[in-house]
């Protein structure tokens, strides 16, 4: 994995497989604020790729631009060699997306929502029918399959959104904060599903705040802050001997020594 | 502490103004409306000063009782009741109960309904500006009455708080409220007629009510003016006991509510029921149609229109019966076609950010448009056909059937086509998913008005041929334009429907991400 900031040089040479996701110089400005300031990354096929960064670093914006949800001001995104912005329908077939902070069609039942996601992607009824119960059972949602999603808890909602992203067996999974408010048991199950998915050749990109989780789970990591990539590569290379959390605080800065607040110890 | 709570409520009200100019304008319009109503009531109550004492007593007691009933009923229907000072938020602050109750009760007067009630109550003092005891009694009664109103509504909201937080209750109550609102005209006219016929019955009713908790406080001024100090004393006791009882109820309910937070969960249900998704074709278009149709029945924001539809003939029949001519009935079908077809012009706005699923799945624009339009058509076509044919059994003027049929179908198909274009390009401010259909939506009010009125104007232009043929028959009395309309309406409508769905689909393919960006602003 190379930090591909030099543009034309990093075009994959023939014979080598194209990266699962290759983004070049993505940039986005909201009003006066630059959210993403020219991010370039290559996510190798078959990798479990973590994207970490402080709040407001531009993770969600970057992933939205890479998945066709938000049009970038500059830059390109290729999924297995297909340009997301010039051939959106082709590129979106290859991807399963779990966006963060969007609503679901929550007046459908859990199984209806996942079936809907499958049918929208043009899958036939038989396949959808056989996959949905299996998927819901794997995510511990079997007992609530007939409940309206609006009555789900936050963690269950996250899981049903993940199921909607998995139903069409995509080659690339882009998951924005997939473990937020998910209970530890379900999180372990989800990790199991994702691990075996990667082992069989799929590619996963997750964004997260939890460094420990990323260090244990991911093969590669990119540290993003203020709309730029600070470091990217295999996890062991990036953390360079220390823990990912310490390395992250080093890179991003802003870790304060805990002083002051003496009155908190006086009771 | 009481002063703290009052200043908190005042601050919340002021900050509400600060949030956006749109909100300020909305509040100003609401304020003007309230001011108009209050002013009318004030003038009326002051004018009562020169009326006969018995009439004044009847009006004040019955009006006061109505106000109390209003404060009792409204919190049931409007689940978006004012919960800015929700007692549950003070759970952790350890405020002594008497101070909390007093503060919250007085804070109830800060805000339009509370302030209006207080002003109108005080105006009853002017009605009894006849003798010193009467003025004193009226003043005391106004204070007791207005306070009872506010505390009564607090009792209701506290008692129903845990009920009101369940989704099913919210859904049902936000649908049920459509019925009285839509039927307001006929109901008010009916009641007015009934009252006019039995006006000598009212003073007796007022006398009885003045002994109940509803009217006791409001009758003090009148009884003292009449010199009936004994009755006034007893009624004063009734009024005080009412207020004390309400405070006690509120206190007990609050104590219980503070230690048992509302539980909003439902029962879990096993799967195996795909509903419409199993019935409609397993294609993207079919799936979108199945989803939209499910929403027409499950989402109160859509289901509200379905509740209104059966009430429309009632209104039209009523107004026809009053005017004695059934001409209005033939407007029923085209009007319904227009309302239902136009209702999906805000479809993507209703989706809100859930639209991300369509975008991420790479649904082609035309499939998205066609699915939504067909779902609406599946509901509106039978309704419109029924409304076209039904009225002719009453009017018997069958010569008009072809014309009305052509106009209605033209309106329906054209409207669906235009809506498909509008909702692919423009977002409007609508209530958020899960909110009551009556809650004031966030977002740009100016754009909403421009899109709505602009769209309706374009629709009228597009159905101009059908309208022209209808007018031609009305002017000449010749049925030939009607038969032409029977062909022109559906054919032109279907052509425009196809054009609208295609154009909307094309725009959606080109601008899907931009549309989604607009939707994320109003989440």
CA-based nearest distance B79→chain A, Å = 17
B353 touches A at CB < 8 Å:
yes
| Mean pLDDT computed over every residue of chain B | 84
- Tell me the Ramachandran region of residue B127: left when phi exceeds 0, alpha when psi lies from -120 to 50, beta otherwise: alpha
The predicted pLDDT at position A240 comes to 84
The residue among A23 and B435 whose pLDDT is bigger is A23
pLDDT, tens only, B449-471: 788 889 889 999 999 999 999 99
- Domain locations in chain B? 2-259, 280-521
Q: For B258-288, write each residue's pLDDT tens digit.
A: 776 555 455 667 777 888 898 999 999 999 9
Q: Which two tokens stand for residue A92?
A: 């979106």
Give the Cα separation of A68 and B20 in Å (integer): 32
Query: Rounded distance, CA B213 to CA B65, Å?
Result: 9
Question: Element (H or E) spanning B246, and its range?
Answer: helix B229-259
Distances (CA, A) of B16 to B34, B221, B255, B320: 18, 38, 29, 44
Q: Report in angstroms the alpha-carbon separations of B67 from B152, B174, B218.
A: 11, 22, 11
Q: Which of A94, A100, A105 to mutate to test the interface with B (most CBs of B within 10 A)?
A: A105
In this complex, which of A69, A101, A120 lies closest to B287 when CB atoms are compared?
A120
Domains of chain A by residue range: 17-101+172-251
> Strand A203-208 to strand A48-52: parallel, antiparallel, or no bridges (unpaired)?
parallel
Q: Alpha-carbon distance A223 to A211, whole Å? A: 10
Chain A residues inside the 8 Å CB shell of B278: 125
Mean pLDDT by 10 residues, chain A (267 residues): 43 65 93 90 94 88 94 94 93 93 92 95 93 92 90 89 94 91 86 91 91 89 91 90 87 70 73
Q: Are A120 and B287 in contact (CB under 8 A)?
A: yes
What pLDDT does B267 receive? 64
Mutation target vs B (from A31, A116, A164; most B CBs, 10 A cutoff): A116
Query: Which residues from B are below 8 Å from A95, CB to CB?
Result: 360
| Region class of A224: left (phi > 0), else alpha (psi between -120 and 50), else beta | beta
pLDDT of residue B84: 59
pLDDT at position B261, please?
59
Q: Is A121 on the interface with B (CB under 8 A)?
A: yes
pLDDT at B460: 92
Q: How far is CA A266 from CA A256, A262, A263, B304, B415, in A?
A: 22, 7, 5, 59, 71
Task: Give me the pLDDT at residue B384, please.
Answer: 95
**Which run of H or of E encompasses A50?**
strand A48-52
Does the pLDDT value for residue B410 go beyond 70? yes
Structure confidence by residue, pLDDT tens digits, B499-514? 999 999 999 999 999 9
Per the CB < 8 A criterion, the answer to whether A227 and A58 are in contact is yes
Task: Kindly list the residues from chain A whose CB atom is less than 8 angstroms away from the CB atom of residue B517.
Answer: 70-71
pLDDT of residue A46: 92
pLDDT in the model for residue B314:
84
By the CB < 8 Å criterion, does B358 face chain A?
yes
Segment (H or E) for A27: strand A21-30
Q: If you average pLDDT over residues B469-489, what whole number do you get?
A: 92
B272 to chain A: closest CA residue: A146
Distance from CA of B272 to the nearest CA of A (A): 7
**Structure confidence at residue A118 (pLDDT):** 95
CATH number of this structure's domain A17-101+172-251: 3.40.50.300
Candidates B235, B218, B221, B234; CA nearest to B53 is B221
- Would you say how long chain A is, in residues? 267
Backbone angles phi, psi at A261, to 5 degrees: 55, 30
Query: What value, to the nearest 5°, has the Cα angle with vertex A243 and ends A242 and A248?
Result: 100
Q: Residue B475 in 3-state DSSP?
A: helix
Q: For residue A11, what pLDDT is reported?
A: 47
Q: Are residues A111 and B274, on separate chains, in Cβ contact within 8 Å?
A: yes
| R_g over Cα of chain A | 19
What does the alpha-carbon distance between residue A146 and residue A161 come to, in Å, rounded to a whole number?
15
Percentage of chain B with pLDDT > 70? Answer: 88
* Position B415 pLDDT exceeds 90: yes
For residue B513, the chain A residues in CB contact (below 8 A) are 68-71
Q: Which of B271, B282, B291 to mutate to test the interface with A (most CBs of A within 10 A)?
A: B271
A115–B272 C-beta distance less than 8 A: no
Which of A121-125, B161-165, B191-195 shows the lowest mean pLDDT across its residues? B161-165
Taking Cα atoms as reference points, which of B414, B412, B447 lies closest to residue B429?
A: B447
Rounded mean pLDDT, B431-449: 71
User: If you ran DSSP here, which 8-state letter would residue A70 be given?
Assistant: S
CA distance A255 to A43: 29
What ipTM did this prediction achieve?
0.89
CA–CA gap between residue B504 and residue B488 (Å, rounded): 23
Which helix (H) or strand (E) segment holds residue A224: the answer is: strand A220-225
Contact call for B517 and A104, based on CB within 8 A:
no
Q: Given pLDDT bands bounded at 50, 70 and 90, which one contains residue B397?
A: confident
Nearest to A248 by CA among A230, A266, A233: A230
Q: Which of A174-183, B23-32, B355-364 has the lowest average pLDDT?
A: B23-32
**Helix B480-521 and helix B464-476: axis angle, to 10°?**
150
Dihedral pair phi/psi, residue B128, rounded to 5°: -105, 25
Instruction: Render pLDDT for B43-93 as a digit per residue (tens, 0 to 9).
Output: 999 998 888 888 888 889 989 998 888 888 777 665 444 555 666 677 667
Q: Provide the chain B residues 116-145 that lie in CB contact (below 8 A) with chain A.
A: none
């Amino acid at each position: 994995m190379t930090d591909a900031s030099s543009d034309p040089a990093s075009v994959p040479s023939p014979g080598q497989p194209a990266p699962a996701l290759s983004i070049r110089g993505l940039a986005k400005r909201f009003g006066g604020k630059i959210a993403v300031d020219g991010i370039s990354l290559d996510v190798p096929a078959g990798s479990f790729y973590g994207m970490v960064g402080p709040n407001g670093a531009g993770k969600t914006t970057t992933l939205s631009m890479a998945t066709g949800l938000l049009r970038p001001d500059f830059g390109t995104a290729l999924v297995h060699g297909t340009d997301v912005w010039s051939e959106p329908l082709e590129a979106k077939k290859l991807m399963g997306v779990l966006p963060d902070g969007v609503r679901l069609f929550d007046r459908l039942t859990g199984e209806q929502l996942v079936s809907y996601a499958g049918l929208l992607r043009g899958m036939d009824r038989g396949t959808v029918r056989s996959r949905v119960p299996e998927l819901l059972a794997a995510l511990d949602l079997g007992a609530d399959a007939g409940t309206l999603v609006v009555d789900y808890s936050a963690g269950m909602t996250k899981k049903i959104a993940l199921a909607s992203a998995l139903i069409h067996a995509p080659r690339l999974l882009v998951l924005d904060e997939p473990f937020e408010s998910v209970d530890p048991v379900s999180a372990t199950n989800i990790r199991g599903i994702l691990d075996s998915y990667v082992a069989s050749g799929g590619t996963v990109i997750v964004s997260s705040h939890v460094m420990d989780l990323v260090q244990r789970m991911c093969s590669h990591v990119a540290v993003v802050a203020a709309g730029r990539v600070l470091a990217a590569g295999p996890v062991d290379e990036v953390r360079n001997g220390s823990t990912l959390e310490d390395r992250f605080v080093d890179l991003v800065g802003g870790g304060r020594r805990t002083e002051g607040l003496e009155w908190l110890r006086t009771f | 502490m009481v002063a703290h709570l009052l200043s908190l409520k005042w601050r919340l009200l002021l900050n509400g103004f600060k949030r956006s100019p749109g909100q300020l304008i909305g509040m100003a319009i609401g304020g003007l409306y309230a001011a108009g109503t209050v002013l009318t009531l004030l003038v009326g109550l002051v004018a009562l000063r020169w009326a006969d004492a018995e009439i004044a007593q009847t009006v004040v007691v019955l009006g006061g009782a109505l106000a109390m009933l209003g404060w009792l009923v409204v919190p049931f229907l409007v689940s978006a009741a004012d919960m800015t000072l929700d007692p549950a938020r003070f759970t952790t602050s350890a405020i002594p109960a008497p101070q909390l109750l007093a503060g919250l009760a007085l804070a109830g007067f800060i805000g339009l309904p509370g302030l209006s009630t207080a002003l109108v109550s005080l105006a009853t003092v002017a009605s009894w500006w006849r003798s010193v005891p009467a003025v004193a009694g009226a003043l005391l009664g106004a204070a007791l009455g207005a306070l009872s109103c506010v505390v009564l509504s607090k009792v209701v909201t506290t008692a129903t708080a845990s009920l009101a937080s369940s989704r099913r209750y919210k859904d049902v109550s936000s649908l049920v409220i459509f019925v009285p609102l839509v039927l307001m005209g006929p109901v008010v006219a009916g009641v007015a007629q009934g009252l006019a016929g039995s006006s000598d019955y009212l003073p007796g009713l007022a006398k009885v009510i003045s002994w109940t908790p509803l009217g006791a406080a409001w009758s003090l001024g009148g009884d003292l003016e009449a010199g009936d100090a004994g009755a006034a004393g007893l009624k004063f006791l009734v009024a005080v006991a009412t207020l004390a009882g309400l405070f006690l109820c509120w206190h007990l309910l609050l104590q219980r509510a503070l230690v048992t937070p509302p539980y909003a969960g439902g029962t879990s249900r096993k799967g195996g029921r795909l509903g419409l998704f199993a019935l409609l074709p397993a294609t993207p278009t079919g799936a979108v149609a199945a989803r939209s149709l499910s929403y027409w029945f499950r989402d109160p924001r859509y289901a509200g229109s379905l509740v209104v539809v059966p009430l429309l003939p009632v209104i039209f029949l009523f107004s026809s019966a009053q005017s004695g001519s059934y001409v209005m009935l033939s407007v029923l079908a085209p009007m319904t076609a227009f309302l239902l077809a136009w209702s999906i012009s805000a479809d993507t706005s209703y989706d809100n950010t859930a639209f991300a699923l369509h975008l991420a799945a790479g649904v082609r624009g035309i499939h998205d448009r066609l699915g939504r339009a067909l779902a609406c058509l599946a509901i509106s076509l039978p309704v419109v056909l029924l409304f076209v044919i039904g009225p002719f059994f009453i009017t018997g003027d069958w010569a008009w059937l072809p014309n009305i049929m052509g106009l209605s179908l033209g309106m329906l198909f054209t409207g669906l086509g235009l809506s498909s274009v509008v909702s692919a390009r423009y977002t409007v401010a609508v209530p958020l998913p899960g909110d009551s259909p009556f809650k004031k939506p966030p977002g740009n009010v100016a754009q909403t008005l421009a899109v709505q009125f602009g769209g309706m104007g374009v629709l009228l232009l597009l159905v101009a041929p059908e309208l022209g043929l209808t007018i031609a028959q009305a002017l000449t009395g010749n049925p030939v334009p009607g038969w032409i309309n029977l062909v022109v309406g559906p054919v032109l409508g279907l052509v425009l429907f196809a054009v609208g769905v295609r154009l909307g689909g094309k725009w959606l393919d080109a601008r899907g991400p931009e549309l989604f960006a607009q939707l994320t602003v109003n989440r």
